[in-house]
Structure 1
Amino acid sequence: MNSLSKTAFIACAVTLLFGCDNRPDKTLSPPEGAKWVDVIFRVPEGITLQPVELLYRSAQCKSVRYNSSNEPHDIPGYNDIERAFGVPDDDNVRRLRVAVNGGGSCQWQLNSLKVSFRIADDVPLVKGKEVIDTSYIFDFGDYGLSDGYGTGQARAFSGDRLELETDFFPMTYISHMLNKTTLKLFGGDTDCAKWSRRYQLKNTEFITIAPMFHAQKSVSIEADRKRGSGMVITYPGGDEEHVRKVNPDYQRLLLLK
């Protein structure tokens, strides 16, 4: 092959991988026999399910990052995608099938999958509050989503079916300093491994998430202005607890469900 032919060959290869604007081709094209994962979500009343966020990585199509000394180094390329769940069935179950082997010219591989949901806008408790998403993250490889989104440390799971059922309680956080009130779902302190909502998966083909939303069992947290330090946690029924922590007692809430 002469030098001109070699140059043309290299140019063609680069074009296939990166396209005309020197960015990687992010098209997915799962090959025959590709691995897939099915995500099943049972949506309880009062909850809105968000599109799934997918992160694919490619060893073929690199990205450049710079260290603290401003020196470049290559890392696997990334490809972030959103996918909506399918329409609900009669039991309000929604499904999404995701390719683990994304294929394409960059041979994309599923790295992380994030499922998010929140308290629905038509729930009366939402009025006047900033609503925050609750998420599960599932990692299929390294270089995953760097921000845990409050899900906690990943715990390993090996098996074809992962089934998750978590009790969630509406939690209102009142910030007098910021003059802001936020609302989110509380399913245990995710700093505790047993309540973490992040998983490192191996050979998993089915993920089923069935949250239980206790809409009438609301808990609130605010600064203890009377004592000048700590927090006041008000549990369903009106009982107050004065503490130096920022999360309710999840076991106590579970006894009230």
Structure 2
Amino acid sequence: MKLTNVFYLLLLFSLSSCALSEDFSPPPDGKTVKVAVVKPADIDILPMDVIYRSEKCRDKIFTSAGAISSRAGYHLLTVPFKPEAGSDIVSNSVALDGGGYCEWKISNFIFSFEYQDKTIFGANVKENTSKDIVFMFDDNAPPRGDGHHERISGNIIITKDYYPIVLKKFTHDGMDALYIQGQPMLTYRVYDSKAILFNPVFHSDMLVNAFPPEKKGDGYLLIYPNGEKLIDHHFPNSEKTKYEFVKQRAH
């Protein structure tokens, strides 16, 4: 077969796969899960990234050895949260069955939150890093996560505490960066849930300032809300940045 014909067939296959991947039509009477978040006044709840997988429309991939293999097809859907009238809750429903020719099934969804105004923690704060929450519905690994997850089922309410950390002189131009701290990345494996309510409790008065080491081998200098100073050689994942520890030094 001529080389030009090979490229033509590859292009045709690629275009056909793309057409199939867009065939997404959840049945009107299909199962859904309602995702709701209690929105603090100074926090933005970012849209959900919902990932669907298809065993019917599999993606061709090359292995490290150069062989051709396949994996479940991938479809990304962005679902915004909508305010519920008369409350501080934002929510939306996500279809478990994506339908269509490929018979899409939900794999996982991720949403994030961040401070609306990062400059309330200082005029030099340039970066505003969001915090991710991951919910899994199958055994496919989500795009973000550390491999660990907590099993949940039924209609649940999740409440977690958070506080801000400002990393001083963290960017390449010497500006500061704002991070949300208090919980590691949360990943949940969902079983038979029709409603999930996430309630993030923000303690913006529990600001921790973190100064990078002056030389290699030194720890971070942490300054807590009560003015106490400690050196942390395991920042940011240490006892000194856990919520309960910081809470004790908030007053």
The 5 A counterparts of 1:73-88 are 73-88=69-84
Mapped pair 1:214 → 2:203? yes
- The alpha-carbon distance between structure 1 residues 109 and 167, as it changes in their structure 2 partners (threshold 3 A), is same
- What residue in structure 1 maps to residue 9 of structure 2? none
* Maintained 8 Å contact 1:167/1:254: no
Question: What amino acid maps onto 1:125 in structure 2?
Answer: F
- The alpha-carbon distance between structure 1 residues 59 and 204, as it changes in their structure 2 partners (threshold 3 A), is same
Q: Which of 168, 175, 184 in structure 2 is aligned with 1:174?
A: 168
Equivalents in 1 of 2:120, 2:31: separation in Å?
43
- The alpha-carbon distance between structure 1 residues 105 and 126, as it changes in their structure 2 partners (threshold 3 A), is farther
- What residue in structure 1 maps to residue 191 of structure 2? 202
- The alpha-carbon distance between structure 1 residues 177 and 102, as it changes in their structure 2 partners (threshold 3 A), is closer
Question: What amino acid maps onto 1:155 in structure 2?
Answer: H
- What residue in structure 2 maps to residue 160 of structure 1? 154
- What residue in structure 2 maps to residue 118 of structure 1? 114
1:96-127 deviation digits (Å, cap 9, x = unpaired): 10001111111110101101110112761264
Structure 1 unaligned regions, length at least 5: 1-14, 191-195
- The alpha-carbon distance between structure 1 residues 202 and 131, as it changes in their structure 2 partners (threshold 3 A), is same
- Aligned structure 1 segments of 4 or more residues deviating by more than 4 angstroms: 18-21
Equivalents in 2 of 1:228, 1:144: separation in Å?
35
* Maintained 8 Å contact 2:182/2:242: no
* Maintained 8 Å contact 2:53/2:73: yes
1:141-192 deviation digits (Å, cap 9, x = unpaired): 12232322xxx4432324212211111101111245833421121123x2xx
- The alpha-carbon distance between structure 1 residues 123 and 243, as it changes in their structure 2 partners (threshold 3 A), is closer
- What residue in structure 2 maps to residue 11 of structure 1? none
* Maintained 8 Å contact 1:159/1:202: yes
Structure 2 unaligned regions, length at least 5: 1-11
Equivalents in 1 of 2:14, 2:170: separation in Å?
52
TM, length-normalised to structure 2? 0.83
Moved more, 226-235 or 207-216: 226-235
Q: What displacement does 1:202 show?
A: 1.2
Q: Which of 115, 119, 143 in structure 2 is aligned with 1:146?
A: 143
- What residue in structure 2 maps to residue 5 of structure 1? none
- What residue in structure 2 maps to residue 184 of structure 1? 179
* Maintained 8 Å contact 1:46/1:123: no
- What residue in structure 2 maps to residue 107 of structure 1? 103
Equivalents in 1 of 2:97, 2:189: separation in Å?
17
Equivalents in 1 of 2:190, 2:214: separation in Å?
44
- What residue in structure 2 maps to residue 49 of structure 1? 45
Q: RMSD of the TM alignment (CA)?
A: 2.5
Question: What amino acid maps onto 2:140 in structure 1?
Answer: Y
- The alpha-carbon distance between structure 1 residues 62 and 126, as it changes in their structure 2 partners (threshold 3 A), is farther
What SS does the corresponding residue of 1:157 show, helix, strand or coil?
strand
1:3-43 deviation digits (Å, cap 9, x = unpaired): xxxxxxxxxxxx9xx99644123243223552211001110
Question: What amino acid maps onto 1:143 in structure 2?
Answer: N
- The alpha-carbon distance between structure 1 residues 44 and 123, as it changes in their structure 2 partners (threshold 3 A), is farther
Equivalents in 1 of 2:196, 2:152: separation in Å?
12
TM, length-normalised to structure 1? 0.81
* Maintained 8 Å contact 1:119/1:126: no
- The alpha-carbon distance between structure 1 residues 64 and 241, as it changes in their structure 2 partners (threshold 3 A), is same
Mapped pair 1:253 → 2:235? no
Question: What amino acid maps onto 2:129 in structure 1?
Answer: I
1:189-217 deviation digits (Å, cap 9, x = unpaired): x2xxxxx5111111122111111111121
Q: What displacement does 1:73 show?
A: 0.4
